[in-house]
Amino acid sequence: MPKFVFVTGGVTSSLGKGITAASLGRILSARGLSVASLKMDPYLNVDPGTMSPYQHGEVFVTEDGAESDLDLGHYERFIDRNVTRASNLTTGQIYNAVIAKERRGDYLGATVQVIPHVTNEIKERIHRVAREQQAEVVVVEVGGTVGDIESLPYLEAIRQFRNDVGRQNVLYIHLTLLPRVATGELKTKPTQHSVKELRSIGIQPDVLIARADEPIDEELREKIALFCDVKIDNVISEPNAWSIYGVPLMLEEAGLGRIVVEELGLGERATEPDLVEWRFLTDRIRNARVPLTIGLIGKYIELPDAYLSVAESVKHAAWAAGCNVKLVWIDSEKLERDRDVEPLIGLDGIVVPGGFGYRGIEGKVQAVRFGRERKVPTLGLCMGMQCMVIELARTALGTDDANSTEFDAFTPHPVIDLLPEQRDVADKGGTMRLGSYPCVLEAGSLAARAYGQPIVLERHRHRYAFNAWWRSWRSRITPSISARSSTPSSNRAPTGRIRCSRASSIRHSPLRVRTDAPRRRHRCCRRRGDEALPRHGRVRRDQDGGRVGRHRRHHDESDPHREGRTGPRDTGQAHLRAHRQRVRRVRQ
């Protein structure tokens, strides 16, 4: 029987439940235990994929293609184990499942209620994580704050859980805040009220973790233990740490790992904690000395959590090289508005992360152009990759018309276009290209040298990608321009299916890498021997080189190559024309 640890939060939100749960997972895995994680979010969204970054922060994509809470990124980084879509549970998912069962008649005519039907579904999802990941311990973080009406079904479910699986198999940890008042004194009253709220639901915390700006003394621990009916040894102080990566060691020194092992009877299965590797990481962070300044060009920089995984990846890469990295957050909208590159001067590197929509795009294009012209190492991720392709195409073609159809549906040079399988998609939630996809790297490319292996798996989240036709046409420009064109890492996945470039570097430039996702060959491309030309605004010429006409984009009914056909080429083309009509009406 697996053991279950439930982490709840009180007094206020944003106390660091995710870091605490991830740190506990690291402490237990260091004892040789198999640990799985689950985050339960009480909002009604099915997943955070359709939520604004300002509302939710980063959307973390799992290997199997789930759009999930950013805390799952902490779980992976701390526990070093990939999570799955089962590791994030929302109220929207629960009610979807309950209503679907009711429609199928699974409840045999019963009146469907929060108790027991909704709570039973929550408990089943908790058991599912333990089954799928074959875990000895499941750490479950309950989102929200005790007292929120949205969290009540989850708290009721975990109350029932102890009776279902046995009291010896469940541990409740409650994280609270000790605020400091104007007199400088830390107050325990909010913690007492938070525990009282939990006890009114039927949950008695086994461990209390007190968050404060400094370690709490023995007198405060005794007071909390007395008023909250918790063993004094089980009152843990968690002050502000020098880094989130210092929290596991701090909690281990406070005895949290030992307490959890003893309370759950894991003494026979657990070994002595082996945190040598983690201590090596923290020492490397503290001893990083080489200064490094990296500019992160984004349009959601008011909330840095919107780029959390990107920022953490940059930090880890810098620490591995012994560098003390400083991230400079640069607003792409401000770059676009002011046309001023001064914020980019002095950077050692540029990272352009993902995003959606046309807002701030020209600022990102301006940033990657600065990086190319000034030879500043530049990394483009997702939309950042698309901006690098757009900038390079504009330079190669000598025009500012090259663009993505996401930003300009009428561009004559759509170097970035909608994925073919996305043309008939109407729903927004969970319908992008999501999850891990293979990429075959071109031997000798910068990407291949960086990865050190021929095939890599990276996670994707996008609807638009590099237009496959432009890869075959780049050599037609001029020798001087083609020397600056993108060199695709591969045009085939390991399965042999033709795809567009998803990682590329610049010929004769050791400084630029961009990565996106695989895709099928564009539907609007058709090869005619060596004279393959795009259907997007293609210009026909006679034998003397004179222009004889322009094909209409995307195969409308007057296309001369569609003689005898009626109606659009396919529903995707009809969808695109409808989209252009909507854009035209908006512009009018």
Say what the pLDDT of residue 480 is: 30
- Pick 567 or 122 by higher pLDDT: 122
Whether the per-residue pLDDT at 327 is higher than 60: the answer is: yes
Which of 156, 157, 152 has the alpha carbon at shortest distance from 122?
Answer: 157
Residue 468 reports pLDDT greater than 90: no
Confidence of residue 476 (pLDDT cuts 50, 70, 90): very low
Q: How far apart are CA 497 and CA 563, in angstroms?
A: 30
Residue 430 binned pLDDT confidence (cut-offs 50, 70, 90): confident
pLDDT tier for residue 576 given thresholds of 50, 70 and 90: low
Q: Quick one: pLDDT at residue 574?
A: 58
Quick one: pLDDT at residue 14? 84
Segment 8-66, tens digit of pLDDT: 999 888 888 999 999 999 999 999 999 999 999 999 999 998 898 888 889 999 998 99
Whether the per-residue pLDDT at 407 is higher than 60: the answer is yes
Q: Which range among 180-189, 272-281, 561-570 shows the weakest confidence by mean pLDDT?
A: 561-570
pLDDT for residue 535 is more than 90: no
Please check whether residue 277 is in contact with residue 325, taking contact to mean a CB–CB distance below 8 angstroms. no
State in words which class domain 3-281 has: alpha beta
What pLDDT is stored for residue 158 in this prediction? 96
Q: Check if 3-281 and 397-588 are the same fold.
A: yes
Class of domain 397-588: alpha beta
Q: What is the percent of the chain where pLDDT is above 70?
A: 80
Question: Are the CB atoms for 338 and 353 separated by under 8 Å?
Answer: no
pLDDT at 109: 83
pLDDT of 487 strictly over 70: no
Q: Are 443 and 505 in contact (CB under 8 A)?
A: no
**Torsion angle of C-alpha atoms 439, 385, 66, 27, degrees rounded to 10:** 90
pLDDT band, very low/low/confident/very high, at 472 (cuts 50, 70, 90): low
498 in Cβ contact with 491 (< 8 Å): yes
Confidence at residue 121, expressed as pLDDT on a 0 to 100 scale = 96
Summarize pLDDT for 176-229 with one digit per residue, the tens.
999 999 888 999 999 999 999 999 999 999 999 999 999 999 999 999 999 999
Alpha carbon distance 259, 263 (integer Å): 6
pLDDT, tens digit, for every residue of 110-169? Answer: 999 999 999 999 999 999 999 999 999 999 999 999 989 999 999 999 999 999 999 999
For the entire predicted model, the pTM comes to: 0.80
User: Which CATH homologous superfamily contains domain 288-381?
Assistant: Class I glutamine amidotransferase (GATase) domain (3.40.50.880)
- Residue 485 banded pLDDT, cuts 50, 70, 90: very low
Q: What is the 3-state secondary structure (H, E, C) of 448-493?
A: HHHHCCCEEEEEEEECEEECHHHHHHHHHCCHHHHCCCEEECCCEC
**Cα–Cα nearest to 45, from 4, 112, 95, 109:** 95
Q: What is the DSSP string of 355-421?
A: --SSTTHHHHHHHHHHHHHTT--EEEETHHHHHHHHHHHHHHHTSS-EEETTT-TT-SEEEEEE-GG
Short-list 190, 159, 186, CA closest to 176: 190
Per the prediction, the chain carries an average pLDDT of 82
Report d(CA 242, CA 255) in Å as an integer: 19
The strand pair at 433-440 and 547-550 is best described as unpaired
Residue 588 confidence (pLDDT):
52
* Contact (Cβ atoms closer than 8 angstroms) between residue 535 and residue 553: yes
Whether the pLDDT of residue 319 is over 50: the answer is: yes
Task: Indicate whether 234 pLDDT > 70.
Answer: yes
Per the CB < 8 A criterion, the answer to whether 62 and 82 are in contact is yes
All structural domains of the chain with their residue ranges: 3-281, 288-381, 397-588
pLDDT digits (tens, 9 = 90+) for 75-95: 999 999 999 999 999 999 999
Mean pLDDT for the stretch of residues 326-353: 92
Span of 151-165, 461-475, 520-534 with lowest mean pLDDT: 520-534
pLDDT value, residue 560: 35
